[in-house]
Amino acid sequence: MTQGQSDTDQPLVDAVSDVLSVDAMGGDQGPATVVAGLSKFLGKAPSARAILHGPEAELKMLLAKHNLADRVTIRDAADVVKMTDKPSHVLRHGKKTSMWSAIEAVREGSAAVCISCGNTGGLMAMSMLRLRKAEGVNRPAIACLWPSRNPSGFNVMLDAGADIRADQDDLLTYALMGASYARNGLDITRPRVGLLNVGTEEHKGRAELKVAHELIGKAAEKGEFTYVGFIEGGDLPSDKIDVIVTDGFTGNVALKTGEGTASLISELLRAALMKTPLSMFAALLARGSLNRLRKRIDPRRVNGGVFLGLNQTVIKSHGSADATGVAAALHLAHRLAQSGFSDKLAARVASAASLAQDAGQENETNGLNTNTGE
Amino acid sequence: MTQGQSDTDQPLVDAVSDVLSVDAMGGDQGPATVVAGLSKFLGKAPSARAILHGPEAELKMLLAKHNLADRVTIRDAADVVKMTDKPSHVLRHGKKTSMWSAIEAVREGSAAVCISCGNTGGLMAMSMLRLRKAEGVNRPAIACLWPSRNPSGFNVMLDAGADIRADQDDLLTYALMGASYARNGLDITRPRVGLLNVGTEEHKGRAELKVAHELIGKAAEKGEFTYVGFIEGGDLPSDKIDVIVTDGFTGNVALKTGEGTASLISELLRAALMKTPLSMFAALLARGSLNRLRKRIDPRRVNGGVFLGLNQTVIKSHGSADATGVAAALHLAHRLAQSGFSDKLAARVASAASLAQDAGQENETNGLNTNTGE
């Protein structure tokens, strides 16, 4: 709390779990949209505060406009990571950027979670450099939420594209991290985990998938999740599972394919209803129902890819997010911050190796469960 | 024409291109559905005939019911490949199955294309064993049609799941085969080919994708297609491309993810419209428009995964296909049969190696173009 943005009468740990570090720059729609989203979020989260990173003069004006000066601290940062910057460039030349500053606030303990709309590759590279991978994690992953038939309305899928490769041990780590995220982000006590493959039969798929199938199955009991085995692409929106484990290449293609299919169907539905005067009248009558449907599958509601496997939590908001989308990412960040997610996850994955070995280390595991409170 | 099922007054080549070899067994809904689909198809294709494989007594009754005895020849086969049979089992014990018989009729030249609703792995294994891979093909692929914003309404995607791996040379072969299929199956003179990746920037993706990117780019001119470069999952239903090239693991996940997303949205739309009396009334008014939409995205309309890279063409119909779905697969088969697709494709891929080398073999290539008439 070195910046003096918190009420020092409050206990320190509570204060930090209410502070989000927000990169104002790097989104397609500029800082005005980020501040508008922040305003929406703060309006519904009375205890929350933010540290906002970007050019001070511009941000000051935007905050004044939304009357947020007392709940948001500005940290001046002159540079911006561009959408086209390669990760290697960002690491070499990024120290004066708003993204770097936003990560730094989390690293030094001034805020609990970092949120940025900027370049994904740059954000991941910078986060890995400054926050470091958690013990036991070889490849961090990006977890996204997938609209589903679940009671919560969502499944968790990881990796959505942090790394294009994943071996059997990475897939096991993804299972543990995804289960922990489902518990803390979606309130699912005993998440059901599935491994994405081209068929549900045990003989199908790549060699590393068959080994991961064994490893995840063995880790389920101590990891406090249920392993449902191999699942297929058609199961992604199903209520058979809460967590979908896959490598970042497949996950990224699946995510974008799902989004592309949903957008094609919405477009065709709109065109179908605008075709005749009768169908236009019908659309008017069904407006309430269609709006509910639109809201149900609105990608802005599920905005926020969570970087898992670092020592702190970073959330990537869609580059094209509007104020509603930014607010959704901030709500997710706040929820994870308040649950103490970063520490719980770190404890989970640190034990991944021992879980996989299934080596009867009962005492250690019991101790872990008590510590994490998961 | 050893079976005497063709009119021997016609030239042999014309006759065979009108004959389809149909496996009556192995679909989830049994032979009655296959024969109903065959009847629908034959009703709209007056020149076509079929050889139907399965238990003679049962098929005879079904054909009589649909009045098809004069246009369909039965080949008796007592056994059936089950959906749960592993490919290795099918190869060892499958000689008396209707699937084997259906492939055999194509192999011996009695029919132009083989169609089956049975077990995909078994059908591919048996087809590779009996029909053999075409010269220049290392891994055959399954091509499926993807609903898109294209004028034709569809893109071609391959591999949809014949093989879980594909190296750079396989991906080049897929590009050539996919372009040839788009020309003959969708009437697109100069297909636009895209390579599926996690981003459109050249530095992204796995090593073999970067090499394939080079190879396909160099082969485009002589292969008479346009290479648009890397595409993402969101581009699958776009009108930027006609042919999507990817490995069978990614393709299978993408296909099933797209189908799963479409089915989730349809279900939610139905639920939204059935929610209130007003929305139910609206749905009634918009019935015509909604039916057109349903038809546009109906998976039965795009039924038929085409096995590419064998010496003959085999089409896999969905196991759960109803009569409409079976008829769609038969129409596709007939169209490919009449275009002389198998021979054209074989000529294309035989030249893949020389195309990739880009070695200025102008004479050879010119000769090829004349021969294939593509």
Give the whole-angstrom CA distance, residue B144 versus residue B157.
Answer: 5
In single-letter form, the type of residue at position A170 comes to: D
Give the CATH fold of the B12-135+309-321 domain. Answer: Isopropylmalate Dehydrogenase (3.40.718)
| Distance from the B44 Cα atom to the nearest Cα atom in chain A, whole angstroms | 28
Q: Which of A90, A264, A280, A320 to mutate to test the interface with B (most CBs of B within 10 A)?
A: A264
Q: What confidence score (pLDDT) does residue B117 get? A: 94
| Distance from the B256 Cα atom to the nearest Cα atom in chain A, whole angstroms | 5
Give the whole-angstrom CA distance, residue B325 versus residue B33.
Answer: 10
Query: For residues A340 and A54, is the Cβ–Cβ distance under 8 A?
Result: no
Q: Is B277 touching A (CB cutoff 8 A)?
A: no
Q: Is B236 helix (H, G, I), strand (E, B) or coil?
A: coil
Query: For residues B160 and B309, is the Cβ–Cβ distance under 8 A?
Result: no
Residue B358 pLDDT exceeds 70 = no
Residue B46 pLDDT exceeds 50 = yes
For residue A234, which residues of chain B lie inside 8 Å, CB to CB?
256-257, 259-260, 263
Q: Is B290 touching A (CB cutoff 8 A)?
A: yes
Q: What confidence score (pLDDT) does residue A107 get? A: 96
Give the whole-angstrom CA distance, residue B246 versus residue B172.
Answer: 10
| Distance from the B211 Cα atom to the nearest Cα atom in chain A, whole angstroms | 16
Q: What would the two tokens of residue A183 be?
A: 């518990």
Mean pLDDT of all residues in A311-315: 94
CATH of A12-133+310-322, picked from 3.30.70.940, 1.10.530.10, 3.40.718.10, 3.50.50.60, is: 3.40.718.10
| Distance from the A271 Cα atom to the nearest Cα atom in chain B, whole angstroms | 9
Residue B334 pLDDT exceeds 50 = yes
Mean pLDDT of all residues in A264-289: 80
Chain A CA closest to residue B146: A261
Residue B20 pLDDT exceeds 50 = yes
β-strand partners of A310: A133
Q: What is the 3-class SS of B154-216, one letter each residue? A: EEEEECCCCCCCCCHHHHHHHHHHHHHHHHHHHCCCCCEEEEECCCCCCCCCCHHHHHHHHHH
Which among B205, B273, B297 is the nearest to A268, CB-wise?
Answer: B297
More confident residue, A145 or A353: A145
Q: Is A252 touching B (CB cutoff 8 A)?
A: yes
Query: For residues A119 and A102, is the Cβ–Cβ distance under 8 A?
Result: no
Q: What confidence score (pLDDT) does residue B154 get? A: 86
Residue A356 pLDDT exceeds 70 = no
Burial B22-54 (b: 16+ CB within 10 A, else e): bbbbbbebbbbbbbbbbbbbbeebeebbbbbbb
A vs B, Cβ pairs < 8 A, gives 181
pLDDT tens column, B219-267? 999 889 999 999 999 999 899 999 999 999 999 999 999 888 888 888 8
Q: Which of A195, A256, A274, A291 to mutate to test the interface with B (most CBs of B within 10 A)?
A: A256
Q: Is A207 touching B (CB cutoff 8 A)?
A: no
Give Cβ neighbours of residue B67 (< 8 Å, ≥ 6 apart). Answer: none
Residue B373 pLDDT exceeds 50 = no
Q: Is residue A222 classed exposed, middle or buried when 0-12, 13-18 and 19+ CB atoms within 10 A define those classes?
A: buried
- CA A351 from centroid of its chain's CA atoms: 22
Helix (H) or strand (E) holding B244: strand B243-245
Give the whole-angstrom CA distance, residue B191 versus residue B187.
Answer: 9
Is A164's CB within 8 Å of B260's CB? no
Q: Which string of DSSP letters, residue by residue, matches B64-89? A: HHTT-TTTEEEEE--B---TT--HHH
Q: What confidence score (pLDDT) does residue B152 get? A: 78
Q: What confidence score (pLDDT) does residue A220 get? A: 93
Question: How does residue A13 score in pLDDT terms, banded at 50, 70 and 90?
Answer: very low
Report DSSP state, residue B310: B
Q: Which string of DSSP letters, residue by residue, matches B87-147? A: HHHHHHH-TTBHHHHHHHHHHTTS-SEEEE-S-HHHHHHHHHHHH-BPTT-SS-EEEEEEE
Q: Is A83 touching B (CB cutoff 8 A)?
A: no
Is A249's CB within 8 Å of B148's CB? no
How is chain B split into domains, by residue range? 12-135+309-321, 141-299+347-372
Q: Name which of A34, A23, A54 is nearest A119 in CA terms.
A: A23
Q: Is A290 touching B (CB cutoff 8 A)?
A: yes
How many residues appear in chain B? 374
Quick check: do A12-133+310-322 and A141-299+347-372 share a fold? yes
For residue A259, which residues of chain B lie inside 8 Å, CB to CB?
233-234
Q: What confidence score (pLDDT) does residue B8 get? A: 41
Give the whole-angstrom CA distance, residue B146 versus residue B238.
Answer: 10
Task: Quickly count: other Cβ atoms within 10 Å of residue B321's Cβ.
Answer: 23
Residue B14 pLDDT exceeds 60 = no
pLDDT tens column, B89-98? 999 999 999 9
For residue A232, which residues of chain B lie inside 8 Å, CB to CB?
252-253, 256
Least confident span in A345-354, B116-125, B200-209, B350-359: B350-359
Residue tagged 């970063």 (tokens): A342
Dihedral sign from CA coordinates of A357, A362, A366, A367: negative
Mean pLDDT of all residues in B102-126: 95
Helix (H) or strand (E) holding B365: helix B362-372
Report DSSP state, residue B318: P
Q: What confidence score (pLDDT) does residue B101 get? A: 97
Give the whole-angstrom CA distance, residue B11 versus residue B14.
Answer: 6
Residue tagged 């080079």 (tokens): B214
The CATH number of the structural domain formed by A141-299+347-372 is 3.40.718.10
Report DSSP state, residue B151: T
ipTM of the complex: 0.81
pLDDT tens column, A147-203? 888 887 889 999 998 888 999 999 999 999 999 999 988 889 999 999 999 987 777
Mean pLDDT of all residues in A251-269: 87
Mean pLDDT of all residues in B118-142: 93
pLDDT tens column, A115-127? 999 999 999 999 9
Give Cβ neighbours of residue B92 (< 8 Å, ≥ 6 apart). Answer: none
Please state, rounded to an integer, the average pLDDT across all residues of chain B.
85
Q: What confidence score (pLDDT) does residue A9 get? A: 44
pLDDT tens column, A14-27? 578 999 999 999 88
β-strand partners of A97: A79
Mean pLDDT of all residues in A334-356: 77
Mean pLDDT of all residues in A44-55: 96
Which among B236, B282, B296 is the nearest to A286, CB-wise?
Answer: B282
